[in-house]
Structure 1
Amino acid sequence: MTSAPSSSAPPSTGIGPRRLVRKTLRVAATGLARALHWAGLERSASWRMAVFDAAPAGSVLVSTRGPETYLVSSGDRAIARELYVNGQFDFEKLQKVMRLLGPGFQPRLLLDIGANIGCICIAAVKRGLFERAMAFEPEPYNFSLLAANIHLNGLASRITPRNLALGARDGEQLVFELSKDNYGDHRISMGAQDGQFDEACRERITVPSESLDSQIEGDWPGCLIWMDTQGFEGYVLQGAARSLRERPPLVVEFWPYGMQRSGSYEALKHAVLQAGYTHFHDLELDEGPVPASEAGFDAVWQRLGTSGRFTDLLIQ
């Protein structure tokens, strides 16, 4: 029988030097975080911006600034950053739309097309502006956060998420190009030509696409269609002829640069005018209703130009 070698070293504590350093740093960081919380710095927009910007790319952070809670990716320097810093994104725009629609509009269903991670549909339902919503988001990672955020806010029975694009026809597979740092600028790709936003360098994936008409069944009064599809709106409306018969109000991003790249502008005008919409509001301006006509839409196009500016239109 052999015995263990003798040693004069002190008994082991069970914690190696590296683990001890990590534990010390963790305790110190926790104490610092608590101190900052007590000091109220976590409520500072500047502080939260610094935290977001310092996070490793691709980290998932929790936004708790507003009434809603969101999981956001630190890789997204646009919508996610705004949500983390200020707790909401574009909600004031939705409130303006509701004021313009007035008391005669009885909101029930919100169709959020290009829903990203849910900052419009979740806030709209949770704050009582709409009874329920359907949210369409084709990009898989955005969709995973959208689904998680719906559950995180207790809205799984009131918001239906669908992981697909909407377009002119059913059963299509569309090429989708991904922005590296603006997850709200993922969009349908109509070619590899480069442009102002490094389109030629973007990763491309394939996403399923269906028509809006195939996704909605029966009558749905009190519906608002909220659409932000980065220049693809005209094709979405092409696939919504039946859905537009009752002329539900539309909120449509109007981005000449994106529409020029996708070739969707004529389709947008035709779909809106064919459905019988009579006027629109330019939400960037406060100049009252404008008659819905080719000349009216063309005037907005000319005002914005094709260098990248955009607005949103409430079409009625």
Structure 2
Amino acid sequence: MSSFSYSFGSVLRSLPQFRGKHRLSRWVLKNLVSTGHDLRVKGLLGCEYLLPNLTENLAFDVFINGIYEKETNDFLVEHIPQNAIVLDIGANIGTICIPLAKRRKDIRVYCVEASPFVFEYLKTNVELNGLTDQIFCHNLAITDQDGAQLPFYSDPEKFGKGSLAPIFADVAVMVNGMSLDSFVNFLKLPRVDFIKIDIEGYEYAAFKGGHTILSSPVAPSILFEFVDWAEEFSKVAKGSAQKILSDYGYSLLEFDEKNGLISLPKILTTGSAMLVARKKS
């Protein structure tokens, strides 16, 4: 990284969000975006990251803002119970779990990342931040099948968009699959208090494989994203992840950055939204 790019990145991370910041940064840093790899960056909250590249939006956001999806992180900090055991399924390189763990020293986070390439960055970033006694990393795919070898498609240049379907890549690596129930049993966890999951439309399979834990009256709250085209790529009906949670006895709410949590009147089948599932009282 050139000294100018490094200095400019540091200045950007010190500035609040402003109109045009993303576009301006893309233009000024276009050479770095196209050529930069394995960039070590100091972000907000004392976090450090090794970024595979800046082509992927996730990494670029960290480079210019020092944090990824700050509103999501703030929500998790506020809503995760005290001394919670948290599952981060689809943890990627750790841009959600690392600042969360820095802000919530009372919690333990068990991370799952399917891509072997991305998993190495996740482990490195957890180590860089001295969080190996609070964040525990596992390289596998959470699904509804135990012991299955599954094709996982992940382009290193688009490392934030890995999937069990060939959406952004056409070359797959085989990864181990495990159901959510079996994963919790494997870890011998006494309970799970919160789940954050982002696995590109395959949430339904993960929830299906978590029947025991998710059908319990004391099941964990869940933060997940609905994206119509991603769920369709997983070859289930759009809205299937929401429906199975509803069948388990969950209430569904939409997380709106401006208005907080809004009750969903019906299952979403079009568009996209960040959703929260809570057990009905």
The bucket for the TM-score relative to the shorter chain is: 0.7 to 0.9
2:62 matched residue in structure 1: 83
Amino acid at match of 1:81: F
Q: Offset of 1:111 from its aligned partner?
A: 0.7
CA deviation after TM superposition for structure 1 residue 185, in Å? 0.8
Q: Which residue of 1 aligns with 2:39?
A: 61
* Equivalent in the alignment of 1:96: 75
From 199, 209, 220, the equivalent of 2:177 is 209
The partner residue of 1:174 within 150, 166, 170 is 150
Matched, 1:247 2:219: yes
Paired letter, 1:226: K
Matching residue of 1:279: 252
Once the two structures are superposed, residues 50-73 of structure 1 have per-residue CA deviations (whole angstroms, 9 ceiling, x without a partner) of 457426646200110312000001
SS at match of 2:269: helix
Q: What is the rounded CA distance, in whole Å, between the counterparts of 2:33 and 2:109 in structure 1?
A: 32
3-state secondary structure, aligned to 2:213: coil
| 1:204-243 correspondence to structure 2 within 5 Å | 204-216=172-184, 217-220=188-191, 223-243=193-213
What is the rounded CA distance, in whole Å, between the counterparts of 2:9 and 2:248 in structure 1? 52
Aligned 8 A contact 1:116 1:137 in 2 = yes
Q: Tell whether the 8 Å contact from 1:284 to 1:311 is kept in structure 2 after alignment.
A: no
TM-score of the superposed pair, with normalisation by structure 2: 0.81
Between the aligned partners of 2:177 and 2:36, the Cα distance in structure 1 is 27
RMSD (Å) for aligned C-alpha atoms: 2.8
Kindly indicate whether residue 80 of structure 2 is the aligned counterpart of residue 108 of structure 1: no
Q: Match of 2:230, SS?
A: helix
Q: Secondary structure at the match of 1:133?
A: strand
Distance 1:231 1:149, change over 3 A: same
- Separation in 1 of the partners of 2:35 and 2:206? 32
Aligned partners of 2:209 and 2:88: how far apart in 1? 15
SS in structure 2 of the partner of residue 278 of structure 1:
strand
- Separation of aligned partners in 1, 2:66 and 2:240: 35
The size of the alignment, in residue pairs, is: 259
For the pair shown, the structure with the greater C-alpha radius of gyration is 1
The structure carrying a bigger strand percent of its residues is 2
Matched, 1:151 2:127: yes
Q: Normalization by structure 1: what TM-score?
A: 0.73
What runs of 5+ residues in structure 1 fail to find an aligned partner?
1-28, 305-309
> How far off is 1:81 after superposition?
1.3
Q: Residue 241 of structure 1: CA displacement?
A: 1.2
**For residue 12 of structure 2, what is the aligned residue in structure 1?**
44
Q: Does 1:312 align with 2:274?
A: yes
Distance 1:52 1:260, change over 3 A: same
1:157 Cα deviation (Å)? Answer: 1.1
The change in CA–CA distance for 1:54 and 1:261 in structure 2 (over 3 A counts) is: same
In 2: Cα distance, 1:184 partner to 1:209 partner: 19
Identity of aligned residues (%): 24
Pick one of 122, 131, 142 that aligns with 2:107: 131
SS of the aligned residue for 2:120 comes to helix
Give the aligned partner of residue 137 of structure 2: 161
**Any conservation in 1 of the 2:153–2:172 contact (CA below 8 Å)?**
yes
Question: Using the alignment, how far apart are the partners of 1:184 and 1:301 within structure 2?
Answer: 24
Shift of 1:279: 3.4
Structure 2 stretches of 5 or more lacking a match?
Answer: 14-20
